[in-house]
Amino acid sequence: MKKIVIFASGSGTNAENIIKYFTETKIGTVVAVFTNRPDAKVIERAQNYQVPVVIFSKNDLIESKILQKINAFRPDLIVLAGFLLKFPQNIIEAYSDKIINIHPALLPKYGGKGMYGMNIHRTIVENKEKETGITIHFVNENYDEGNILFQKNIVLSGDETPEEVAHKIHELEQEYFPQVIERLLEN
């Protein structure tokens, strides 16, 4: 069975969805959740499924202390699911083409530093975009610039609020993120 490690910084709805999805398959399992926030809701969600949680500081990430902790779980895939810190080069090199991220917009638009969550949805509404969607991509040394694995778009009517856009994007993430992970693990 393939091993998945998830990195998350917030509420953890995508992390929980992935954990739950892989409890019902034979191809993979989530072996750990890493978070940089000791108050993140993702901790409780992971513990509800008896998934070990590793809490670390931004300095731990910068000072390369996390790679050793990741290696202890021997993951086949690292999944960033709402993880907001820049991923360090030493981990990217050690797990080349084995780290993926989900972005709540159609990259290359609305990517880069500071473009996450409601910041993206507000900007999309302000810019009167006709569509938006999700992008799942490999992680490289630059925010949101890794090779794209999957995109799914939705058409916007033009009168949605940022909150309504966020809800539509969340539905796409819940449906497609686990499926893309499963396909990666099968290959």
Count of beta carbons in the 10 Å neighbourhood of residue 8: 29
Q: Exactly one of 103, 121, 137, 170 is catalytic; name it.
A: 103
137 is catalytic: no
> Is 14 assigned a ligand-binding role in the annotation?
yes
> Is 161 assigned a ligand-binding role in the annotation?
no
* Extended beta strands in 20-122, E state: 28-35, 53-55, 77-80, 99-103
> How far, CA to CA in Å, does 38 sit from each of 4, 108, 146, 175?
21, 32, 28, 28
Q: Pairing relation of β-strands 99-103 and 131-138?
A: antiparallel
> Is 71 assigned a ligand-binding role in the annotation?
no
> Is 140 assigned a ligand-binding role in the annotation?
no
Which residues sit in the known binding site for (6R)-10-formyltetrahydrofolate?
101
Active site residues: 103
